[in-house]
A and B are shown apart, each in its own frame.
Chain A
Amino acid sequence: MEGDAAAWKALVEGLSPLVWSVVRAHRLNEADGLEVYQTAWFRLAQHLRRIREPDRVAAWLASTTRHECLKVLKAARPLPLSDNPQVFDRLSDEPTPEEAVIESEEAALDRERLHRLWQAFHELGERCQRLLRLLMASPPPSYLEVAAALGLAVGSIGPIRQRCLRQLRTLLAERGVR
């Protein structure tokens, strides 16, 4: 059992970025997103014994998270969701550990550039934001997992990605972000 608990911990650590990316790709706010994130993991824990193919767990999680996101959106609770990039802008918040690491003087320029990249990303269309936010999971999800997370055909992902990254590069060029 100890080994199982350790394996579960490794699974959670390995796939949490994917689950969180699915949540944010669907533009759930942090509070609702957190509930969906938990639901997905609690449900996986319940189903763990029945999942026959371990290499399908990521796709299973992605798909489960997507369905919970859609339900939360459909429940039409008052969600402070918006296209406004400021909603997602945490620059004024307490620094996260990751932020603290790059607070040094020489990293300030790098951080400023990433922030402008983040702003440009939020100017993209909804479809592009959704796909690219998912692709930001670490490690990058497979196209099979992306398809499960977004309800897209596997074959459509490559072309959409290509188009969205081109749009983003155009935006960055217009703003002089290199």
Chain B
Amino acid sequence: MKDEEWENQELENQLRRAAEIFDPLPSGALQSAIDAYALHTLEAELAELAFDSLERAAGVRGPGRPRLLTFRSPPVTIELEISVSGGTGHIIGRLLPPQPARIEIHGRRPMVLTADPLGRFSGEHLPTGAFSLRCRLPSLVVATEWITI
């Protein structure tokens, strides 16, 4: 009788081959990840995800309930409220301290919003998927961590 661990590894090797055939990485995925490096070289201050209502609200979820996100960086805090319905998102945000800014949304479909002097901005038809906000302030650019909505 063969050693069971040897059989285990054989079976895993076969499963690995099966996954490569029946469940491969989608084409184009690799290139999108390679391209992410170009974004990294763009100089921007990183605003880290400090709060995500999805992490907190066990049982409080579902369509129609907005997702609340807070991203913090030393110069600015970005608060977002995102409601997803019908495959697109409605986004309401504000900058703290309040200030005007150009807000670029990097994602499947790039969008540009404008924060008013009170730091408020909003946008419709945000495509779901991976996205990051870049806030262009007079003296610097702040980029949020990427998240999936």
Q: Give A residues with C-beta under 8 Å from B.
A: 1, 4-5, 8-9, 12-13, 16-17, 20-21, 24, 30, 32, 34-39, 41-48, 68, 71-72, 74-78, 88-91, 96, 98-99, 102, 111, 114-115, 117-118, 121, 132-133, 135-138, 140, 161-162, 165, 168-169
The interface residues of chain B lying within 8 Å CB-to-CB of A140 are: 12, 16
Asked if B21 contacts A114 (CB within 8 A), the reply is yes
Interface residues of chain B, those whose CB is within 8 Å of chain A, are: 7-8, 11-12, 14-26, 29-30, 32-34, 36-37, 39-41, 46, 52, 54-55, 61-63, 67, 84, 128-130, 132, 143, 145-149
Question: Pick the contact of A12 from B20, B33, B61, B63 — CB < 8 Å?
Answer: B33
- Contacting pair A39 B22 (CB below 8 A): no
- Tally of contacts, chain A with chain B, CB under 8 A: 147
Alpha-carbon distance between A98 and B22 when the two chains are bound, in angstroms: 9
Given contacts A90-B22, A165-B8, is CB(A114)–CB(B61) below 8 Å? no
Q: Say whether B12 contacts A165, CB under 8 Å.
A: yes
Which residues of B are found within 8 Å of A45, using beta-carbon distances? 36-37, 39-40
With A75-B54, A117-B14 known to touch, is A9 a contact of B146 (CB < 8 Å)?
Answer: no
Per the bound structure, the CA–CA distance linking A47 and B67 in Å amounts to 24
Chain B residues touching A, majority SS = helix
Q: Say how far B107's CB is from chain A's closest CB, in angstroms.
A: 9
CA distance A20 to B131 in the complex (A): 19
6 interchain pairs (CB within 8 A)? A8-B37, A38-B129, A43-B146, A76-B63, A114-B17, A140-B16
